[in-house]
Amino acid sequence: MRIANYIDGVFVEPQNGRYIDNIDPSTGKIYGEIPKSTEADVTHAVGSAKKAFPSWSQLSASKRSSYLLKLADELDEKLEYFAKAESKDNGKPLSLAKKVDIPRAIDNFRFFATAILHEKSEIHDMGISGFNYTLRRPLGVVACISPWNLPLYLFTWKIAPALAAGNTVVAKPSEITPATAFILSELIDKVGFPKGVINIIHGKGEDAGQPLVSHSDVSLISFTGGTTTGEKINRIAAANFKKISLELGGKNPNVIFSDCDFDKMIQTTVRSSFSNQGQICLCGSRILVESNLYTRFLKAFIQETKKLKIGPPMDPKSDLGSIVSKDHKEKILSYVELAKKEGGKVEFGGESITLEGEYSGGFYMSPTIISRLDMSCRTNQEEIFGPVVTVMPFSSENEAIQLANNSRYGLAATVWTNDLKKAHRIADNIAAGIIWINSWLVRDLRTPFGGVKESGVGREGGYESLRFFTEPKNVYVDLK
Ligand code: TXE
């Protein structure tokens, strides 16, 4: 697969003619080429988005909606094809891509395509003296930068509301997983979006992402990725007064009380720990268990984790596929070594796994459970972003809250208890943007999504997204 940039409605090579290898993580082999775009390509893309902005922003909401709905229908028809491409590019089980990633990308388009049909303006009435009305207008050219863990899911989570609100877009998917954004650009072309409304640039963060977020004609940045990258981008945005939303890392607590529904909790905790090989910013990586349940929990959790099958992503029997890249697998395994040095006990897993035959060069590892660490160690403070969890006991509600909040991150948390009052109390006291009580990863696209502390700035989702991708303008009319 030779990937091309999509700029001004045309598939183009990077101007320097250079490419980087695209690696299939399930085999470790090169299977395609990705443009190594630079500032010249970004300038071209931003210029085309700028040219397209006046007419796109002036189209009626229903016209913009119909383009997005057509795109959703096209994607729906090719769900299987996109799921296979996602699984090959990322290493995630095909079953997950079919059930979660691609359906959610379709939903993103449908949700925002229809949400804009119901938008209305606000009026603040001042009686007989006058009134205010508030217009919400698109900003212009916006930059959408997405990561590799949920490639099309997060790419569309940004471009759908940006386009629906009337902005034109330059989007950069992760260079580690560019395939589905590329084949989406083929569908965008087929649907016939006006030229320049959506431009997709491929390449590395420093070569293509940085010039994009720095460009003076880009007025808004929506970014999901690592906290260090987010900090760098935030500095650029601040110096240039750009509107910004940052969805960054997490080190989410999963707080389990002994009065919970044990079977449901165990099944869900296995998923919240190891889905997508633990490479979801919402995974619960610090498991806190009430001490009177600790031994029973650990035994059952290990028993259920043992049942997970690690295998080729395309195999329907695989629960875990491969880690996204060699570098990332090495990073995860280095944290397992660190955990041992910090006094942790590997209760299960912690190993690199080599499959047979054509998959022998793939990046596989076992789901890993570590105990006996305290909250202050690096293993419990730094985002590992892999199939590695720690398990710790707590003896009171207050201690659970303290441990949960002992983190520089604050994205999500899960609470397991059948005591309704306690559940609400804990939800209120944990510093995080998203709390699930007796569940995990239930997503309603209308709800605000994002984190506190080093997990990010701002919220996206539902009307939060439509507000983020527009600028309010208040107009006062004097009647006196
Ligand atoms: O992410 P990066 P990486 C975490 C996770 C992971 C770590 C690093 O802990 O180990 O981040 O992952 C683009 N200007 N998460 O290195 O670099 C880049 O090309 C503009 C959590 O893969 O943040 C890609 O498109 N753009 C996370 C995107 O930023 C830049 C998901 C994300 O890449 C850039 C992924 C720059 N200077 C990783 N540098 C989550 N919260 O979901 C890079 N990029």
Q: Whose C-alpha lies nearest to ligand 1, atom 4? A: 226
In the chain, helix, strand, coil percent, each to 5? Answer: 45, 25, 30
For the chain, domains (ranges, CATH) are: 5-248+455-478 (3.40.605.10), 252-445 (3.40.309.10)
Q: How, if at all, do strands 364-365 and 345-348 pair?
A: unpaired
Question: How confident is the model at residue 69, as a pLDDT?
Answer: 98
* Residue 458 and residue 244 in contact, taking contact as beta carbons nearer than 8 Å: yes
- How confident is the chain (480 residues) per 10-residue block, as mean pLDDT? 97 98 98 98 98 98 98 98 98 98 98 96 96 97 98 98 98 98 98 98 98 98 97 97 97 98 98 98 98 98 98 98 98 98 98 97 98 97 98 98 98 98 98 98 96 96 95 97
Pocket test for ligand 1, best of 182, 385, 449, 460 (most atoms within 8 A of CB): 385
| Burial tier of 5 (Cβ tally within 10 Å: 0-12, 13-18, 19+) | buried
- Beta strand 456-457 with 243-247 is antiparallel
Of residues 127, 136, 135, the one with CA closest to residue 478: 127
pLDDT of 280: 97
Nearest atom in ligand 1 to the alpha carbon of residue 213 is 20
Residue 6: which of 137, 163, 184, 273 has the closest Cα? Answer: 184
Q: What are the backbone dihedrals phi and psi of residue 147, each rounded to the nearest 5 degrees, phi first? A: -95, -170
- Provide φ and ψ at 136, rounded to 5°: -120, 115
* Helix, coil or strand: residue 286: strand
With beta carbons less than 8 A apart as the criterion, state whether 244 and 237 touch: yes
* Residue that has been written with the tokens 């699984």 in this structure: 87
Give me the active site residues, please.
Answer: 247, 281
- What pLDDT is attached to residue 390? 98
Is there a contact between 388 and 332 (Cβ–Cβ < 8 Å)? yes
The set of protein residues with a Cβ atom below 6 angstroms from ligand 1 is 145-149, 172, 174-176, 204-206, 209-210, 213, 224-226, 229, 232-233, 247-249, 281, 383, 385
Q: Which of 41, 90, 145 to mutate to test the pocket of ligand 1 (most atoms within 8 A of CB)?
A: 145
Point out which residues pair with 200 in neighbouring strands.
6, 171
CA distance 200 to 187: 12
Cα 325 to ligand 1 centre (Å): 13
Distance 225 CA to ligand 1 centre (A): 4
Dihedral over alpha carbons 469, 470, 471, 474 (to 10 degrees): -150
Q: Put residue 277 in one of left, alpha, beta given phi > 0 → left and psi -120 to 50 → alpha.
A: left
List CB contacts of 332: < 8 A, sequence separation 6 or more: 323, 365, 384, 385, 386, 387, 388
Residue 24 parent element (H or E): strand 19-24
Q: 169-196, pLDDT tens digit by residue? A: 999 999 999 999 999 999 999 999 999 9
Residues 272, 253: Cα–Cα separation, whole Å: 11
Measured in Å, residue 175 CA sits from the centre of ligand 1 at 10
Instruction: Map residue 258 onto helix, strand or coil.
Output: coil
CB-CB neighbours of 302 under 10 Å: 16
Q: What is the pLDDT of residue 377?
A: 98
Nearest Cα residue to 285 out of 182, 195, 409: 409
What is the structure's pLDDT at 243? 98
Q: Give pairs for 50-56: CB < 8 Å, separation 24+.
A: 50/140, 50/141, 50/168, 50/217, 51/8, 51/196, 52/168, 52/194, 52/195, 52/196, 52/197, 53/138, 53/140, 53/141, 53/167, 53/168, 55/194, 56/163, 56/166, 56/167, 56/168, 56/194, 56/197
Q: How far apart are CA 332 and CA 343, in angstroms?
A: 17
Question: Residue of the nearest CA to atom 3 in ligand 1?
Answer: 226
Distance 270 CA to ligand 1 centre (A): 26
Rounded to a whole number of angstroms, the CA Rg of the chain reads: 23
- Kindly give the number of the ligand 1 atom that is closest to the alpha carbon of 229: 23
Cα distance from N-terminal residue to C-terminal residue, the chain: 67
What is the reported pLDDT for 171?
Answer: 99
- CA-based nearest residue to 56, from 162, 157, 173, 182: 162
- The answer to whether 91 touches 321, Cβ cutoff 8 Å, is yes
Task: Give the model confidence (pLDDT) of 310-361 as tens digits.
Answer: 999 999 999 999 999 999 999 999 999 999 999 999 999 999 999 999 999 9
